[in-house]
Structure 1
Amino acid sequence: MNAIPPLLDHLVLATPDLASTVAEFAGRTGVTPVVGGAHPDLGTRNYLVSLGGSSYLEIIGPDPEQSLPEGAHSFGVDGLTEARTVTWAISPPDLDAAVAAARAQGYDPGTPHPMNRRRPDGTLLEWRLTDSDTAHPSGLVPFLIDWGASPHPTTSGLPTTPLREVSATAPDTDEIRTLLTALNTELHLSEGPVGFTFTVETPKGLVTFC
């Protein structure tokens, strides 16, 4: 079992208070996340940190500059009382082929749809991802993403905290492993309540987040 999941694109750390969580991350690691950008019509904004290679951490929370009805934010940030890692994304070589292969094995990750955001430097990023609303409710089964012709977020000179390990717990680990196999990836799993942990290397040593 790999300590780092195959095809990992990014981890999603969701929070009800973006500024507080970014400050906590910086305080614990000595590395300050940088602004990624706002997600139009979704009411969220993110900050990013590279995890090494082509993987990164997305810290996502409500964007105070967007006014949306209750419950309209993505990744369930409205229902959170504290920051936690809620899901992850993989980037297969061929998104549509990966969706078809998963469906052939009995798991439908959702239909890919387009999204976009603009970086602080004005660069428009456009990507496709599978609809997370149809994904496994635990968040332990990743959604799929394809950055297409857009530059990957890790190419923009992000601060880095190298990822050393990702693990998760689930009441039914066999169920999750079956779905991960359908997506051609894996995750270190043990039995327990649904949850993630990941460990990064920082100027302050190894730091683990949930």
Structure 2
Amino acid sequence: MAALVEGGPDVYWIDHVVVAVEDLDAAAIRWREGFGLDSAPGGVHPAWGTGNRIVPLGPTYVELIAVLDPTKAATTDLGRAVGEVSSAGDAPLVWCVGTDDLEGTALRLGLDIGGGSRRRPDGVELRWRSTGLEAALAAPWRPFFISWDVEPDSHPGRGFVHHTVDAPGIAWLEVACEPAALVAWLGGEAMPVRFVDGRPGLRGFGLSTARGTIEIRSP
């Protein structure tokens, strides 16, 4: 595993990984039966034509995302990316890092900040701000950045589900790109990244469990 050099001005951590799937219900069954990882309903994204389910992992989580409205999805970068990537099976799409200095990150990279929200099935509203999603979709070796405006216990990674394995978080990522480019994008911050060959992008990730590491890779 190759960790990026330390020393950047911001502090980042892995917030979540987005996995594109063709069908949310079918994917939930595969993850539960194949990995012992349960998921909870997330929400619908009318602006993108997509919807998601959440696999909570404590401080981090996996977001399963699928196209729900093909007509709308075809008009958006995210919707098109989800449809294209999931056509060959479940596959990592993009990754997201959390930060307490979203403004500094956006300023450093020349990005705009946008806000978002969704309401959970129990009525709790989740609010966040993010930057860099369009850049990440265009070059998915890049993560985008997020800052949550919620109580710590309301972070999606803290959701209550019935895993049959103990999965404390995302252990590592496999990324195909020029290492120096990712180091620059992250401002030199250390992240648990393995650099691999292949088409540039997020190629896989690992989840540590008591039974060993669950490895998820592109087909």
TM-score, normalised to structure 1's length? 0.80
Equivalent in the alignment of 2:155: 152
Structure 1: segments with no counterpart, 5+ residues: none
2:209 pairs with 1:206: no
The percentage of aligned residue pairs carrying the same residue is 23
1:72 has 2:85 as partner: no
Could you say what secondary structure the match of 2:141 adopts?
Answer: coil
Displacement, 1:60?
Answer: 0.9
- Aligned in 2, Cα 1:113/1:137: closer, same or farther, shift over 3 Å? same
Deviation by residue 1:156-208 (Cα, 9 ceiling, x = unmatched): 324552235222232422222222235x3434232401343222245764321
Contact 1:44–1:73 (Cα < 8 Å) also in 2: no
Structure-2 separation of matches of 1:133 and 1:159:
34
Are the aligned partners of 1:30 and 1:202 in contact in 2 as well (CA < 8 Å)? no
The alpha-carbon distance between structure 1 residues 77 and 159, as it changes in their structure 2 partners (threshold 3 A), is same
1:28 alignment counterpart = 34
SS at match of 2:186: helix
> One-letter code of the match for 1:139?
P
Conserved 8 A contact 1:71-1:78: no
> Is 1:12 aligned with 2:18?
yes
List structure 1 segments (4+ residues) > 6 angstroms apart after TM superposition.
Answer: none
Aligned to 2:127: 126
How far residue 73 of structure 1 moved from its aligned partner, in angstroms, is 6.7
**85, 95, 110: which is aligned to 1:88?**
95
Report what 2:8 is aligned to.
none
Change (3 A) 1:131 1:6: closer
How many pairs align?
200
User: Could you tell me how far 1:147 is from its partner in structure 2?
Assistant: 1.3
Deviations 1:67-120 (A, max 9, x none): 6252437261121212211111111112112222x33xxxx3x21101111111
Matches of 1:164 and 1:79 in 2, distance apart? 25
Report whether the alignment pairs 1:98 with 2:105: yes
Residue matched to 1:55? 60
Question: Structure 2: which amino acid aligns with 1:111?
Answer: D
Q: CA RMSD in A?
A: 2.8
Q: State the alpha-carbon separation in 2 of the partners of residues 69 and 55 from structure 1.
A: 26
State the match for 1:173 in structure 2. Answer: 179
* Aligned counterparts of 2:101 and 2:158: Cα–Cα separation in 1: 20
Conservation of the 8 A alpha-carbon contact between 1:163 and 1:198: no
CA distance in 2, matches of 1:137, 1:201: 29
CA distance in 2, matches of 1:207, 1:60: 19
Q: Which amino acid aligns with 2:83?
A: D
